[in-house]
Structure 1
Amino acid sequence: MDVDAYLDRLGVGWPAAADLATLRLLQERHLTAVPFENLSIHLGEPIELDEEALFDKVVRRRRGGFCYELNGLFAALLRELGYRVSLRAAQVFRPDGTLGPPLDHAAVVVELDEPWLVEVGFGRFARHPLRLSGVDAQADPEGEFLVLDAPHGDVDIVLNGKPQYRLERRPRPLADFVPMAWWQATSPLSNFTRSLTCSRPTSQGRVTLSDERLIETVDGVRHELRLTSPEALRTAYRVYFGMTLTRLPVPPGESPLTSTAARPETAVNVP
């Protein structure tokens, strides 16, 4: 791995030590620099859980990705920097409180003086590492987190009283997630095939491009703008997410012939 290029993508220099302070900085910078996005699914691009392919996508092509891609590649970077790292599988809680399938999510655990949960691939989540052995509430810019015991030695990660996912204790190689990544990218039951999103936190909140809606939250105030032309969408991807797209993803439920990318352009200004 070209560690210098990856660190440059994050806007940081080579760290002096593989410690908690550096881990915290790397997580924060990764979240703000590399968007959580599922564009590949709607561009017809394969999801390849291979370190070289992920590096090419995230670092060379300056794209983002979803959990298996972002956390998988970030784990590889942390190993190169001297951290003891493992991937862990998780089941994501649905809105109704039931659990999704096994290996629904891939998370990163770093062993320092104690285990820390590091997350750069779950959309809105902790901006800082979380103590997995912590019994008290942990404050974070995104809210208050709890780590609770769950059946079979697993742990539940809870944000502001709402369970987010159930984390396994068992380490997993990235290859274990390949079948579920394929399902997430192809099944009509997957949230990723039914939605189109690109999102990252900012210093004042969060910015998200969901289908044709540009949503920016600043100091708790939500602003929404509908982008009605291909040029406006390309500009938004470039300005807000640093991505230059030669073609646009097709929103769920639309065909390439009727999607925004094929419609005549109208004037929409994006700063």
Structure 2
Amino acid sequence: MNEESLELRETADTSPRTWADAYLERIGAARPARSDATALRELQLRHLMTVPFENLAIHHGEDIVLEDERLIEKVVTDRRGGFCYELNGAFAALLSALGFRVTLLQARIFGDGGRLGIPYDHMALRVETDDDTGPWLADVGFGDHAVQPLALDDRTEQEDPIGVFRFRPAPHGDLDLLRGGSRQFRLDLRPRALADFRAGCWYHRTSPDSYFRRSLVCSRRTGTGRVTLSGRTLITTVRGERRETELDTDAEVLAAYEDHFGLRLTYLPEVRRIPNA
């Protein structure tokens, strides 16, 4: 998809305004002069700080359609967030429109006891820039994850504001991503298409074994740490210091969604009962 494939919008001075311009405005970023590593780092940080990682659509019965136009509409027009397929899918479209070369990659997340999750458990992005650096692993859809893109071909420790990351070779040409020595996910380096992730998305929307189906989460990176709303519990982390606040009323919960995540909701998010679970 290129910038002209979606309907153009116009600014007050009638100059052409593309969906990519609207997306950049949504995340508070300027259009980069070059599609280089510096620009990629800035775009990833801006995205993490403005677009929340959230699964509210699952519990409100909203459809999740893995198509560029629908993902961009949700993030930009509706000013919502999403989980990995939505956030990294939309971010991939933005990066491609800005001149980055983007490949979708599938990953399996390590769970309890080091067990791997399902295929297409997670979507991540391989990004090539025009400054002969990288390739980079960009990811705005893994919750509390690396703030900066990670160098995919580097097997040494990589320092990030939230910790130390390292890629380690895994069977069949895959890579395990470690954070502080703990395995996060196993990355398959073969190129994928957005439609390939539909089964994984369906599983996480419907299975009683899916974390996203069993709980509510809305979380965003801040300049000093992170803010998360889990049900009625507001969790703020500032320079490593964690604080939890229980919200007593529905009005307080709705206000927290708007104040901390920019989500103006007309309904109170609640975990939907899983039939026969």
Instruction: Kindly indicate whether residue 54 of structure 2 is the aligned counterpart of residue 34 of structure 1.
Output: no
Give the AA of the match of 1:8: E
Indicate the SS of the match to 1:96. Answer: helix
**Within 2, Cα distance between the matches of 1:77 and 1:52?**
11
Instruction: Kindly indicate whether residue 24 of structure 2 is the aligned counterpart of residue 7 of structure 1.
Output: yes
TM-score normalised by structure 1 residue count = 0.92
Structure 1 counterpart of 2:12: none
**Within 2, Cα distance between the matches of 1:249 and 1:41?**
10
* Residue 56 (structure 1) shift: 1.4
Return structure 1 stretches of 4+ with deviation > 2 angstroms: 251-255
TM-score normalised by structure 2 residue count = 0.90
For 1:103-158, what per-residue CA distance to the aligned partner results, in whole angstroms no more than 9, with x for missing partners?
10010110233311000000011000100111210000110000110000000110
**Within 1, Cα distance between the matches of 2:231 and 2:82?**
16
Structure 1 counterpart of 2:143: 123
1:169-180 to 2 correspondences below 5 Å? 169-180=189-200
Give the AA of the match of 2:223: S
For 1:5-34, what per-residue CA distance to the aligned partner results, in whole angstroms no more than 9, with x for missing partners?
000001012111100000000000000000
**Within 1, Cα distance between the matches of 2:103 and 2:70?**
20
Give the AA of the match of 2:163: G
1:1-271 to 2 correspondences below 5 Å? 1=6, 2-112=19-129, 113=132, 114-253=134-273
Give the AA of the match of 1:67: C
Are the aligned partners of 1:87 and 1:173 in contact in 2 as well (CA < 8 Å)?
yes
Are the aligned partners of 1:237 and 1:244 in contact in 2 as well (CA < 8 Å)?
yes
**Within 1, Cα distance between the matches of 2:143 and 2:25?**
22
**Within 1, Cα distance between the matches of 2:21 and 2:216?**
31
Are the aligned partners of 2:208 and 2:274 in contact in 1 as well (CA < 8 Å)?
no
Indicate the SS of the match to 1:85. Answer: strand
Are the aligned partners of 1:115 and 1:131 in contact in 2 as well (CA < 8 Å)?
yes
Structure 1 window deviating more from structure 2 (50-59 vs 86-95): it is 50-59
Closer, same or farther: CA 213–254 of 1 in aligned 2, 3 Å: farther
**Within 2, Cα distance between the matches of 1:225 and 1:24?**
32
Are the aligned partners of 1:85 and 1:108 in contact in 2 as well (CA < 8 Å)?
yes
* Residue 252 (structure 1) shift: 4.9
* Residue 254 (structure 1) shift: 9.3
- The runs of 5 or more residues in structure 1 that have no matched partner are 256-271
**Within 2, Cα distance between the matches of 1:254 and 1:155?**
34
**Within 2, Cα distance between the matches of 1:102 and 1:253?**
26
Give the AA of the match of 1:19: D
For 1:201-226, what per-residue CA distance to the aligned partner results, in whole angstroms no more than 9, with x for missing partners?
11111100001100001111111111
